Structure 1
Amino acid sequence: MTTRILFVCLGNICRSPAAEGVARALLPDCEIDSAGTSGWHVGEPPYGPMRAAARARGIDLAALRARQFEPADFSRFDLILAMDGQNLRDIEAQRPVGRDTPVRLFTDYIADSGTDHVPDPYYTRDFDGALDLIEAAAAGLRRALRAEG
């Protein structure tokens, strides 16, 4: 059975599309998507500097377009991964009654990372630092999925 994973950040133009791109490369047997808790950028491609930083690592985000997270995503996905605590709370606030889809912080998959979130490079301007965390978390996610069998 294919695992369906959704990555969620605020605007779906930096962190979550980067996580989508990285995860598609590392987890080819999974269905991967991304979304934002806000609707500010719906239909837009990932932010130019994030696309450039990802492209420098061999990850092409150009075809992706932002979309807003919606309650139906709890039915569409087996695992929802938030980039920070506020995203996680915003996702949980939309949880339909009776839906038990796990929602976790993406950084939970980085052993001893010392961080509980992927800082938003739209504000920090540290696109490479965000990608470093995303790649580490995606590698941890791959290990966890393999361990599950």
Structure 2
Amino acid sequence: MQRILFVCLGNICRSPTAEAVVRAKAPHLHLESAGTASYHIGKPPYGPMQQAASVAGYDLSRLRARQFKPRDFNAFDLIVAMDAENLEEIEAQRPPATQTPVILMREDGQAVPDPYYTRDFTGALTIIEDAADALIRRYCALGK
């Protein structure tokens, strides 16, 4: 079973949404999410993000924020960052000799904009849905 970890800043908008979207599309995968910052540990995803996801058919309510840890490199086969800053923070914590790939969520290398700041929760969800399809095709060999 492929193990994938999605990572954003606070683990209350983008990464839990990516976890839920990919889980809906590829339920046999082991998926989790985390944040590089410790702001929201133990808290549920942000209310407006949960609402946007719910309208689209995704339930984020059971997810809780946790912080990314160096041990995640050994626990997952792939780590997916929502933007370049998170990717850099993840790589800064890489233990020596770990080979776990760390990639950006979007195939084009662009960031998934943080809706906590942009307030565009539906737009972020749409980007994540499109990126999830590409991620599944590229790394999970599942097709759509």
Same fold (TM over 0.5): yes
Cα distance in structure 1, aligned partners of 2:111 and 2:96: 27
Gaps of at least 5 residues in structure 2 are none
Aligned to 2:128, the other structure's residue is in SS state helix
Residue 124 (structure 1) aligned with residue 123 (structure 2):
no
- What's the counterpart of residue 140 of structure 1? 134
Report how many residues are paired: 142
Cα distance in structure 2, aligned partners of 1:9 and 1:143: 22
Aligned to 1:28, the other structure's residue is in SS state coil
Residue 14 (structure 1) aligned with residue 13 (structure 2):
yes
Q: CA RMSD in A?
A: 1.3
Cα distance in structure 2, aligned partners of 1:147 and 1:96: 30
Cα distance in structure 2, aligned partners of 1:32 and 1:76: 11
Residue 56 (structure 1) aligned with residue 55 (structure 2):
yes
1:64-104 alpha-carbon deviations (Å, 9 max, x no partner): 00000000000000000000000000000000000010000
Aligned to 1:66, the other structure's residue is in SS state coil
Aligned to 1:13, the other structure's residue is in SS state coil
Gaps of at least 5 residues in structure 1 are none
Percent identity, aligned pairs only? 59
Cα distance in structure 2, aligned partners of 1:40 and 1:92: 20
- The CA deviation at 1:147 is 6.6
Cα distance in structure 1, aligned partners of 2:94 and 2:136: 26
Cα distance in structure 2, aligned partners of 1:44 and 1:122: 15
Cα distance in structure 2, aligned partners of 1:45 and 1:82: 19
Distance 1:89 1:61, change over 3 A: same
